Chain A
Amino acid sequence: MDKREEVLLISGVDVLKCMRCGKCSATCPSYDEMEYHPHQFVYMVETGNIEPLLSSESLYKCLSCFACVERCPRGVEPAKVVEAVRLSAIRQKGANHLKAENVPELIDDDTPQQLLMSAFRKYSK
């Protein structure tokens, strides 16, 4: 299976519905942190240009806040595309973005379990 097919399958998203209005990126709270923005994820998956996404830090900047899902006028659900590309990257052996041994230096006395759980779900397999 090629990467494009894999991402489409994991995400369940029909990227052809996108009309490239850019609303998803305009509303994205992580816009400034991202090299590739949600509408670019959708377009680059559509055209099969996935390699640059797989190695981009942008994968780890998405907050899964569902703003793009809520506000896309075409029901594309860009967050699911970002999630699928991220999974495709971290499911490879040794590709975890967050390693358990680095966690102690990242937390403090108030760090809620929810944060650790969420981050591990998002960044590691």
Chain B
Amino acid sequence: MVFSYYPGCTLKSKATELDRYARLSASALGFELEEIENWQCCGGVYPMAKDEIATKLSSIRALNDAKMHGQDLLTLCSACHNVIKQVNNDMQTNEDIRTRANNYLQLDEPYLGETKVVHYLEVLRDTIGFEELKKKVVNPLKGKKIAAYYGCLLLRPGSVLKMDDPENPKIMEDLIKALGATPVVYPMRNECCGGYLSLDDKEAVAKRREKVVQSAAEFGCDCMITACPLCMYNLKKNEDQIPVYYFTELLAEALGVKE
């Protein structure tokens, strides 16, 4: 199975581990990530304004590239995933945005939202299957208590991203179980870490961070996992010194391909 892969800018710089362990794990599990050519940054945040077209074009180009290859478009970073899925939804449902974007892009054939966007976690669940994944685990993470941190971008808005129940998700908990570890469910797992406010208001982000991490710590976790480089950046400075990993790192470790 081959996917068009959109790594995004952060996975090429500050979050290379998120990308590297995803590639190693994909090979171990038998699917291929074919990086699309000349992708451009998604912008990090979905442009909500109805009158903005320019800020959506990089996503549409990536979506169209996958369409031309006849492949699903796979994302890994929570932000890219959020932006590209929401823009794709605009192209499917908002005639005004669809028309104006296509007028601007002048593709050989208009892009109408045909591409399916999948997050890496969705591939693990829906294409590989957690039961199959479990069979490929050579180093079960026995005894480890892991708190999955969803944050805001991975699941919301639920009606558009359609990845999991946004209020009671289990995709990462199911992954943790498949890897042989114990998931820790805690109340702040789908509340925002402070996101991009960490440039402009570091104090507010510090408050968010401690709330989120203390919530996980109270429920007795050894470590936390995330799919988002910005969550990683915000959470890892926590006072409780709870380690935070990309989920792909633990996946690669359990599959015995972590180098």
Chain A residues close to B by CB (< 8 Å):
9-12, 29-30, 32-33, 60-61, 63-67, 69-70, 79-80, 83-84, 87, 97-98, 103, 106-107, 110-119, 121-123
Contacts and interface: CB of A to CB of B under 8 A. Distances in A.
A125 B226 CA distance: 30
Interface residues of B, number: 43
A125 to B, nearest CB: 11
B55 A121 contact: yes
A123 B200 contact: yes
Contact of B49 (A84, A98, A107, A123): A84
A117 B10 CA distance: 10
Given A33-B201, A70-B158, A117 B41 contact: yes
B256 interface: no
B106 interface: no
Contact of A118 (B79, B207, B208): B79
A83 B49 contact: yes
Interface of B: 8-10, 13-15, 41, 43-51, 55, 77, 79, 152-153, 156-158, 166-167, 191-192, 194-201, 204, 207-208, 229-230, 232-233
A16 B196 CA distance: 30
Given A29-B191, A65-B192, A113-B9, A11 B158 contact: no
A114 B77 contact: yes
A12 B200 CA distance: 28
A58 B187 CA distance: 26
User: DSSP class of A's interface residues: helix, strand, loop or mixed?
Assistant: helix
Nearest to A62: B197
B51 A117 contact: no
B71 to A, nearest CB: 24
B204 A64 contact: no
13 contacts: A9-B50, A30-B197, A33-B204, A60-B200, A63-B195, A83-B49, A107-B199, A111-B14, A112-B15, A118-B79, A118-B195, A119-B199, A121-B44
Contacts of B158: 70
Contacts of B77: 114
Contacts of A113: 9-10, 13-14, 41
A106 B197 CA distance: 11
